[in-house]
Structure 1
Amino acid sequence: MKTIFVDGYNVINSWPELKEIKDYSLESSRKKLIEILQNYSAYKGYKVFLVFDAHMVDKSIEKKERCGENLIIVFTKEGETADSYIEKKVNNIGRKRDVCVVTSDSMEQQVIFQRGAIRMSSLEFYHEIKVVENKIKNKIEINTIIRKDSIEDRVEGEILEKLQKIRKKG
């Protein structure tokens, strides 16, 4: 299974829609990113770690939350950046698994390559997310069309009941 580490605030500050939301509410932009990544991880079947810095928060401890089957949200401990958390985790698993790190931080990018992971910029990831969102939307539309092809969707309730009675008799 592919593992993806996402530098949360780096992505929020790179994606136009999240940046706009962040200007009003950082919490709302985090929630929107979480929602997007839940759909992405479920569709692709990838394990996604969404990492947020808490290094500026006094006395914070590392906190992990599971959202759905494949998304884990991490708030780093006091004094630890998202970059250092990701580097540490990639160092442990980078050469053993298929690992991708989403960040636009140039220093982080070089360290990631050395540890055996691949890197995707926040904007490249944004475009991949949009492709997946369109695939999900198309799948939903196709399923809706298929459901409308059944007789139950085309016939009024009273007529449908009569047809079902005829079917049971025959």
Structure 2
Amino acid sequence: MARTKKEYLFIDGYNITNQWKTLRNYTDSIENSRNKLIEGLIEYKAYRGINVIVVFDAHLVKGSNEKKEIIAGVEVVYTKEHETADSYIEREVTRLGRDEIVQVATSDNAIQEIVIARGGTRLSAEEMFQEISRTKQEIKRKTDSNNNNNTKLANMLDNKTLEKLEKIRRMID
């Protein structure tokens, strides 16, 4: 039996936060930009069901060690000193190879070329923004549809009451 490939989406964190206008609005704090990006990715991951890893550079932080945390299912990685997000992503794409489905969201041309050469696909920052926006619209449509279905009288009454109403309807017809 063939093994199902896992799907991974790597996000070049600071590349994306610097490209998206909606995240650049948080100029008061880089932490706020990171958190807003992660919030959007949590919703995206939950809906799409893929592994989402967002990588932030910490290569200029003296003495920093690689740090990983899971926030509502999204893996957040801060690279170690002297390691860029690009090199971390490149290493992981190489590790996963062609055995898994790998996408990388970045507008960095060099990492895009590496990803494609290693069998992955790339999304520019703009394409990732559009993908997140489409996903939010799909979620809204589904929840609106579900809310409309749940407000129908038939969905609010028990079966006994529905049967009585059906008998009354038949008597009137």
* TM-fit CA distance, 1:150: 3.6
C-alpha deviation, 1:147, in angstroms: 2.1
Q: Which amino acid aligns with 1:64?
A: K
Tell me how far apart the structure 2 counterparts of residues 85 and 151 of structure 1 sit (CA, whole Å): 54
Please state if 1:44 is matched with 2:39.
no
CA distance in 2, matches of 1:28, 1:94: 33
Partner of 1:122: 125
Partner residue of 1:64 out of 65, 68, 76: 68
1:27 aligns with 2:31: yes
Quote the residue 1:134 is aligned against.
137
Whole-Å separation in 2 of the counterparts to 1:129 and 1:31: 15
Question: What is aligned with 2:10?
Answer: 5
Any unmatched runs of 5+ in structure 2? 1-5, 165-173
List runs of 5+ in structure 1 lacking aligned partners.
156-162
Calculate the TM-score normalised by the size of structure 2: 0.84
- The answer on 1:97 being equivalent to 2:128 is no
**Who is 1:160 aligned against?**
none
Deviation string, structure 1 residues 13-71 (Cα, Å, up to 9, x no partner): 111100112x12111111111110000011001101000000011111111111223x1
Structure 2 contact 45–52 (Cα < 8 Å) conserved: yes
Q: How far is the alpha carbon of 1:151 from its aligned partner?
A: 6.5
Identity among equivalent positions (%) equals 42
* 2: CA distance, partners of 1:99 / 1:41: 14
Normalising by structure 1, we get a TM-score of 0.85
Q: Does 1:107 align with 2:110?
A: yes
- Residue of 78, 81, 84 corresponding to 1:81: 84
Q: When the two structures are aligned, how many residues end up with a matched partner?
A: 157
**Pairwise CA RMSD:** 2.1
Shift of 1:109: 1.2
Q: Deviations over 1:114-152 (max 9, x none)?
A: 211111111111111100000011112112212222468
Q: What secondary structure does 1:99 align onto? A: strand
